[in-house]
Amino acid sequence: MKKIFLFILLIFLIGCEQTAEPSPLPEDNFLIIAHRGASAYAPEHTIAAYDLAYEMQADYLELDLHQTKDGQLVVMHDRFIVNQQKEIPVADLTFEELKALHDESPGPRKPVSQGLQGEKEGLVSLQEVLERFGSDANYYIELKSPDDYPGMEEDLIAQLKSFDSLDGKQNTPWIILQSFDRKSLQRIHKLEPNIPLIQLYSFDKPPSFNESDFRKLTKYASGIGINQDAVSKELIDQFHQHGLDVHPYTVNEKEEIRQMIEWGADGIFTDRPDIGVEVKQEER
């Protein structure tokens, strides 16, 4: 009898772990998410780009993360770096080796539009970004190619906890994590269910989601990030009906931002956070 009771209790506990509710995102607020910093005006993923985004009052600083051979979480978009016409995976390099190759690569990186421009800056780690802005900023972090970096999820959560970044402040979570990798997000949800998670998608044509898709999503995700070309008011409404937020990317023009607001999107990724903030204030 005792064994049967323990077995039932174990099944109950496992069920509770698997059905933990996704953490909520900010309510009634159109989020301006600075895509790789203010990357229209300064080289992406640099302190200069994040400084500008912070000064422009972006709601979140968006970072892409990879992990070096010696376990450093590094802020960059690609999973490799080009050296002498060869692609060298980030996972094969220590942070110092990667930083040296990054400094040697052709530059400066040009912003995507004219505006404020700085000289090329060095590669930065997640720790350096967190140390610079601390709890004064909110962070929207993408795990890039997590299959290349075993244990990346645990290392990221440990680093965020060391900065007390998982406690939240007021009604806004400091941290939102995102990835195209569903399994990686599900691992994070089991490890730390209090972190809001965003499932990323990219579609060549308007997508179709069924009830089974939504059941799977709502077990771990608080919303989705989706390319702007695939977004419609009907799609946003459909996700809202299932309690999921929608953050289109990458939305840079005033009219496009206004349209996302009119359609009911919950925020946008933008290279031009100053324009996003301006339109958001106009539409209030």
CATH superfamily of 199-284: Phosphatidylinositol (PI) phosphodiesterase (3.20.20.190)
Q: Which two tokens stand for residue 220?
A: 């771990």
Give the 3-state secondary structure of residue 172: strand
In this prediction, residue 113 carries a pLDDT of 46
- 60-67 and 31-34 strand pairing: parallel
Within 10 A of 65 (CB to CB), how many other CB atoms are there?
25
Radius of gyration of the chain (CA): 20
Q: Where are the domains of the chain?
A: 34-195, 199-284
Question: Residues 224, 267: contact at Cβ < 8 Å?
Answer: no
**What residues contact 82, with CB distance under 8 A and at least 6 apart?**
88, 105
The answer to whether 174 and 189 are in contact (CB under 8 A) is: no
The residue type of 27 is E
Q: Which residues of the chain have pLDDT under 70?
A: 1-19, 28, 106-120, 165-172
Domains 34-195 and 199-284 share a fold: yes
CATH tag, 34-195: 3.20.20.190
The pTM of the full predicted model, rounded to 2 decimals, is 0.88
- Confidence (pLDDT) at 164: 74
Share of the chain above pLDDT 90, in %: 75
Query: Residue 142 pairs with which residues in a beta bridge?
Result: 64, 178
Count the neighbouring beta carbons within 10 Å of the beta carbon of residue 216: 13
Give the residue numbers marked as catalytic.
35, 77
**Dihedral sign, CA of 69, 73, 78, 82?**
negative
Supply the pLDDT for residue 29: 84
CA–CA distance, 166 with 139 (Å, rounded to integer): 11
d(CA 152, CA 1): 42
Confidence at residue 166, expressed as pLDDT on a 0 to 100 scale: 67
* Model confidence pLDDT, tens digit, residues 191-222: 999 999 999 999 999 899 999 999 999 999 99
Identify the residue whose tokens are 């607001």: 261
